[in-house]
Structure 1
Amino acid sequence: MLRQYELVERVKEYDPDADEAMLNRAYVYTVQKHGTQTRASGDPYFSHPVEVAGLMTDLKLDQETIATALLHDTVEDTLATIDDIEINFGPKVARLVDGVTKLSKIEQMPENERAAENLRKFLLAMSEDIRVLLVKLGDRLHNMRTLHFIKNPDKRSRIARETMDIYAPLAERVGMYEYMREMQLLAFEQLEPEAYRTIENRLDQLRALDTGQVDAIALDIKHALAEAGLKVEVTGREKHPYSIWRKMAERHVSFEQVTDIMAFRVLTDDEADCYAALGVLHQTWQALPGKFKDYISTPKTNGYRSLHTSLMYENSMRVEVQIRTREMHRRNEFGLAAHWAYKQGGPSNTVKPDGQVGWLRDLIEIVDTSHDPEELLEHTKLAIYQDRIFAFTPKGALFQLPKGATPVDFAFAVHSDLGAQTVGAKINGRHVPLRTPLANGDVVEIIKGKEAEPQLSWLAFVVTGKARATIRRAVRLKERFELAEIGQKLYQEIAAKVPAKIGKKALTEALERLDMEEAEDLYYAIGSAKIEDREVMEALLPGCTDELPEGQDWTPGKKALSIRGLTPGVGFDLAPCCHPVPGDRIVGTRRSGAKVEVHTIDCHRLASGIDSDWIDLSWTQQSVGAVGRLCVTLYDRPGTLAEMAGIFAKNNVNVTSLSQVQLDHPFTTYEVDLQVQDLAHLTRILSALRASDSVAQAERI
């Protein structure tokens, strides 16, 4: 563990003007606050924030980041508060500490909600100041280095999975490859211990047989480039076990079949020498087709720049070579942290989500549009995973997308409004289906329509978190709007049943009684059958339903159902399988100790056989009112659901349930339960539906 003076000296080496007093105060403060707390390893707890601060000095970060690293656990794990931090270390450090702190309030949440809420707060804080992410990555890296001390295997596995799914990809997205590789390796060891040990054993065997082969290949590469007049530095290394395991899984091959286990790095003085070195290597050894990538002319989203190629060395050995300048290498290994490294005058206070970290804008939009914790985690993981392709707009603007991305993903990447208005696409000048996967270098032209809107069917093929989050939100809003339109019409019918004139004041008071904010909330609840008519009437005029029995239709002039053939006083239920209504030919079934169940004579359940006594029944002339069920298929375009609601309203029918059962673009199918007077009433409604241009099909269930 770094001592106090050692930590301060590290900072002073690259920042002579650093506030030594503040760093000393922060060191002492964390030691005092954590006191006798210990870690699972048995070490004093304050050793953890001190080690994280040491990691930040390796990155040459500014004094505020170092202080934040020292203090990042004090608010969560001690009696210190953010106000205390601000008084002692200023508002900037307090804001950073607040961003990094894991809030203890979310510990009681279910695991997926806790992870999602943690991620939500973290992403929002990160968007304000990227140093929050840098400290958090250092915190996670040190926790992973000491993970083996935790005795609970489930807890180790959970932390390792969270690291693999979120923190390692985040490290990659800000270009901190050293952090990413070590996190992946440590998480892999916990998640796949058997595979880890197997690959490590194989690598140990290769090392035992190696007679300086890596050094020999590196020397050959250096000599070949030196003969061409290029002054370079060449290093070789073996890929780490997780990288090898992932390659085995992707290619479905054994360890022996993974040929490019060794990778070499060539560092040059300038960019021109990178391309010159590439030419020499391709002339000296055979290049493998399809393995060349130019990340210098088209950098990755995180700013990574390098040339990648694979060569066929002697004895058919494949080796991977990365060529870059020394400055590129520094920025590649430490990514965004390299931009924050201390310079004369110090860095700016914040890094907003634009330029190199523009992908943050997508993450924040996902936070705003995700509906629940599972969606947030799913969309965020999609947004930060790393395999990318490059595509261009017709004007030459470059966009990076995940492999498998479609024109719809591309449209949302350009702008959310463009994605929402997409109706078609051209790839390299040719019209293509919207589900067509994009390839590297494609020129994508999006065709938009002013009246267009996101389609639920797009979720079957889009792959970016931003697209999925925005589509789901738009579909939910559309469904809510259309159900609210239905609900507003049904509300007028309900209000007409109340024995008093209902005005705006009564509606406002009803909303307060129902704990709703706006009339649209009530209309949506009515339209989606989440509230019963009786509840609405009682909210509009308390006490108006006291004399009405439960389940009875409240429309003036109607009488209760009456069925001939039943013994007076015997209870009955209308079968939910066929929903008989007055006018249907009916039959009853009876089991001992149960109510009589009334079915239509052609009910499928009767045809399949029911083990019970049958009773011959018929409706009396005064029987009025029952629930009929319809299956209605609408054309999937704006206003069709509202038109169906209008048909119900014109026919004086109350909707008791509405549910979407199928979406097969351009059709949407609903099941609707209607409170009708009799069979003739239900038949008139069916006829009106079938006559509508908005309805593709309407049948009674």
Structure 2
Amino acid sequence: MKSTDSTIPLEKLLEHLPENYTVAERELVERAYQVAEEAHQTQKRHSGEPYIYHCVAVADILSELKVPSEVVAAGLLHDTVEDTDITLADIRRDFGDTIASLVDGVTKLTHLPRVSRGDQHAENGDNGHEEEPIAPALLGRKEDIVAETLRKTFLAMGEDVRVMFIKLADRLHNMRTLSHMPEHKRRRIAQETLDIFAPVANRLGIWQIKWELEDLGFRYVNPEKYKEIAELLTEKRPDREAQLEDIKKNLVKLLAQNNIKAEVSGRPKHIYSIYKKMQKKDKAFDMVRDVRAVRLIVPDIPSCYAALGVIHTTWRPIPGEFDDYIAAPKDNNYQSLHTAVSYDDKRPLEVQIRTQEMHLNAEYGIAAHWQYKEGSKHADKNYEKLINSLRSKMEWGSDVQDANEFVESLRSDVFQDRVYIFTPRGDIIDLPSGATPIDFAYQVHTDIGHRCRGARVNGKLVPLYQGLKTGDRVEILTAKRGGPSRDWLNPNLGLVRTQRARSKIRVWFKKQEDEQNLAQGRDILERELQRLGLSEINFEKMARELNYKTPDEMFIELGNGDLSVNKVIKQFSQHEEVEEIFEVGPSTTPTTSTNAIEVVGLKGMLTTMARCCNPMPGDPVVGFITRGRGATIHRQDCPNILQTRDRERLLQVGW
């Protein structure tokens, strides 16, 4: 982002507003400033600056993103409801529903549960607060509060993505001024920035915010390595800049000779991206530093490919370094051609080729394309797919009961590197790197995933554990009916690697078990009611009395053994006291010699015939120890015996 001054006056902010703002829109921003300034007039930041400087800085960052005036105004007001006497009703009355909704969204993010907020207030004791870490050591911790906070943060993002514009701007300014925070908080906030907010900016395509958050976060998380790379970059900067000037001149001349108009610029290197490349490719800094990078801006898409052809015929392409993100855009709608060639001095030259529109998309992402109508939340059609994709992931997260599972899904399905796979019809499916054909199948449709039995990749049968690569064309072979295999959930087999697919598979098996338990539970209850001569039972009432929402829930727990049929009967049988499920015989008279039951190793034990299955002489039987009444004799295939969890109470018996 261009402005890094933490003390931007109102006049500067008004100068930075997009040129297409109307007079009314500029007046709206100025009015929001006046309200915010008065509301925060007694509050200061940790730096000692008036709190309003932070609000103006947030609004200035938003104005650079070219967002609508309502979003800039909401940026000025984003802390008023949280930290001053102004209410949401006041905001709605003075500024309308749209701005009130945005301020409310940011306030709700601030109200999420925190691990520690004991030192949140400004040093002078006033109410202005500076952003605290949502959670320490994010994505490595498994505390419920951390996971739940993350889930709610991203669900809020799914409701209105403009709230995240404000939150990202808020976080960026807080990172720019992080040196004023107590030392023990800096690393936690910086780690959270790297783990959550920088990836969110990337997913929204806001590269300008993404790279600055990464570099600032890295500066506090790993200050030694940050300083080392920064010093090395500074040391060689004059030579590198001179080399780039020569490269740019050569490229402009070469392209002009081929009738291609192009704007050529050096592509800045960012410290965190250099560090990640060193890690990913296991390279020393010198090898990474020596890679020069340029960007070509051309008039249209045909010119992109024409420029690529000229470059590839002039210099030798480096194998494995070409990516066509025009034909297959990234998940955040990023488009460019990427290549690397061996330049005249045999050192690598990275080249990005894009149109001006693609460049704006890459710099500002969805924010640059946000069009608005009065009272609406509308992005242009090129970005509706991205918004729907993000919302679908967030809505899926709201169905996940375990918050930690949702955190894992963010890590594996949202923030990982992506691959772009083609369906047989040519549609593009976006998946995390390392995804398998089964992951692909579940991404296309849940039912296709359940019935997946094989896959062809680029026309060839492949094992289901094979990782997919960008550009692969995948055809899923399905059965007419059936479901997934439990082996798919075995992590050692590597068949499924996305959290989405794992969750869908678990849900399928739980549903199958529930259906089986439902049928068995209903059968158990109906047979017991029939045995007792009870009829015309209102199962709806029975379920409600036992605190179940539906009879099916009650039947499922009867079937899996979590609920005793005896408890159900006792609740509703007023004319008969029903005994424990296995203590069903009223008689304590020993059996006659013709029906004699012998308990192996225990002569003379009292035995009683179970009424639930009415064992007859010659039937295969088993004994169940009852409390104070010897053993109840059941048929071995009695459902009550088959489902009992008290296997240690079973006895071997015989006629």
Taking structure 2 as the reference length, what is the TM-score of the superposition?
Answer: 0.80
* SS of match in other structure, 1:327: helix
* SS of match in other structure, 2:275: helix
Distance in 2 of aligned mates of 1:582 and 1:192 = 75
Given candidates 675, 679, 699, the residue that maps to 2:652 is 679
2:233 is aligned to: 203
Given candidates 203, 218, 227, the residue that maps to 2:248 is 218
1:554 is aligned to: 583
Change (3 A) 1:21 1:256: closer
2:378 corresponds to 1:350: yes
1:192 is aligned to: 222
**Aligned residue runs from structure 1 range 438-587, under 5 A:** 438-459=468-489, 460=491, 461-492=495-526, 501=534, 503-505=536-538, 507-532=539-564, 535-541=567-573, 553-557=582-586, 583-585=599-601
Given candidates 71, 76, 97, the residue that maps to 1:91 is 97
**Aligned residue runs from structure 1 range 15-54, under 5 A:** 15-54=21-60
- Once the two structures are superposed, what CA deviation does each residue of 1:375-433 show, in whole Å capped at 9, x if it has no partner? 11111232322522222222222223222122222222223333233333222333333
Change (3 A) 1:626 1:160: farther
Q: Report if the CA contact (8 A) 2:67-2:370 is conserved.
A: yes
Q: Report if the CA contact (8 A) 1:583-1:619 is conserved.
A: yes
Aligned-residue offset at 1:627: 6.7
Change (3 A) 1:147 1:256: same
Consecutive unaligned residues of structure 2, counting only runs of 5 or more, are: 1-6, 117-134, 136-142, 591-596, 609-622, 627-634
What's the RMSD between the two structures over aligned residues? 3.7
Task: Decide which moves more: 443-452 or 57-66.
Answer: 443-452
User: Percent of counterpart pairs with the same letter?
Assistant: 36
Task: Decide which moves more: 17-26 or 137-146.
Answer: 17-26
**Aligned residue runs from structure 1 range 297-376, under 5 A:** 297-340=327-370, 349-351=377-379, 354-376=384-406
2:88 is aligned to: 82
Aligned-residue offset at 1:288: 0.6
* SS of match in other structure, 2:19: helix
Distance in 2 of aligned mates of 1:560 and 1:321 = 94
Change (3 A) 1:511 1:63: same
Aligned-residue offset at 1:322: 0.9
Aligned-residue offset at 1:363: 0.9
2:194 corresponds to 1:161: no
Aligned-residue offset at 1:540: 3.6
Change (3 A) 1:560 1:503: farther
Change (3 A) 1:129 1:425: same
Q: Quick one: which amino acid aligns to residue 476 of structure 1?
A: K
Distance in 2 of aligned mates of 1:420 and 1:171 = 34
- Once the two structures are superposed, what CA deviation does each residue of 1:598-646 show, in whole Å capped at 9, x if it has no partner? xxxxxxxxxxxxxxxxxxxx45432675479xxxxxxxxxxxxxxxxxx
Distance in 2 of aligned mates of 1:258 and 1:21 = 49
2:629 is aligned to: none
1:594 is aligned to: none
Distance in 2 of aligned mates of 1:59 and 1:623 = 82
Q: Report if the CA contact (8 A) 1:379-1:469 is conserved.
A: no
Distance in 1 of aligned mates of 2:343 and 2:162 = 43
Distance in 2 of aligned mates of 1:292 and 1:509 = 66
Q: Report if the CA contact (8 A) 1:654-1:675 is conserved.
A: no
Q: Report if the CA contact (8 A) 1:267-1:323 is conserved.
A: yes
1:653 is aligned to: 641
Select the structure that is richer in strand.
1
Distance in 1 of aligned mates of 2:306 and 2:440 = 34
Distance in 2 of aligned mates of 1:619 and 1:41 = 87
2:205 corresponds to 1:175: yes
2:601 corresponds to 1:621: no
Q: Quick one: which amino acid aligns to residue 132 of structure 1?
A: V
* SS of match in other structure, 1:478: helix
- Once the two structures are superposed, what CA deviation does each residue of 1:483-517 show, in whole Å capped at 9, x if it has no partner? 333333444466578x7836534x55553443222
* SS of match in other structure, 1:14: coil
Change (3 A) 1:286 1:675: same
**Aligned residue runs from structure 1 range 223-302, under 5 A:** 223-258=253-288, 261-302=291-332
Consecutive unaligned residues of structure 1, counting only runs of 5 or more, are: 562-580, 586-617, 629-646, 658-671, 685-701
Distance in 2 of aligned mates of 1:492 and 1:105 = 50
1:62 is aligned to: 68
Q: Report if the CA contact (8 A) 2:155-2:398 is conserved.
A: no
Q: Report if the CA contact (8 A) 1:172-1:386 is conserved.
A: no
Given candidates 379, 393, 407, the residue that maps to 2:437 is 407
Q: Quick one: which amino acid aligns to residue 349 of structure 1?
A: K
Aligned-residue offset at 1:9: 4.5
Aligned-residue offset at 1:59: 1.5
Change (3 A) 1:327 1:37: same
Change (3 A) 1:261 1:114: farther
Distance in 2 of aligned mates of 1:582 and 1:69 = 83
**Aligned residue runs from structure 1 range 115-130, under 5 A:** 115-130=146-161
Q: Report if the CA contact (8 A) 2:413-2:498 is conserved.
A: yes
Change (3 A) 1:147 1:418: farther
Distance in 2 of aligned mates of 1:75 and 1:448 = 54
Change (3 A) 1:450 1:147: farther
* SS of match in other structure, 1:26: helix
Distance in 2 of aligned mates of 1:5 and 1:53 = 12
Change (3 A) 1:286 1:12: closer
Aligned-residue offset at 1:237: 4.1
Change (3 A) 1:555 1:203: same
Change (3 A) 1:539 1:354: farther
Q: Report if the CA contact (8 A) 1:534-1:545 is conserved.
A: no
Distance in 2 of aligned mates of 1:456 and 1:209 = 59
Distance in 1 of aligned mates of 2:64 and 2:105 = 22
Distance in 2 of aligned mates of 1:545 and 1:104 = 56
Change (3 A) 1:31 1:225: same
Distance in 2 of aligned mates of 1:330 and 1:544 = 78
Distance in 1 of aligned mates of 2:223 and 2:603 = 71
Aligned-residue offset at 1:533: 5.5
- Once the two structures are superposed, what CA deviation does each residue of 1:499-545 show, in whole Å capped at 9, x if it has no partner? 7836534x555534432222222233333443455644543458987
Taking structure 1 as the reference length, what is the TM-score of the superposition?
Answer: 0.75
- Once the two structures are superposed, what CA deviation does each residue of 1:286-342 show, in whole Å capped at 9, x if it has no partner? 221121112223222222121111121244321211112222212211111111268
Distance in 2 of aligned mates of 1:105 and 1:560 = 69
**Aligned residue runs from structure 1 range 570-649, under 5 A:** 583-585=599-601, 618=602, 620-622=604-606, 625-626=623-624
Distance in 2 of aligned mates of 1:304 and 1:314 = 30
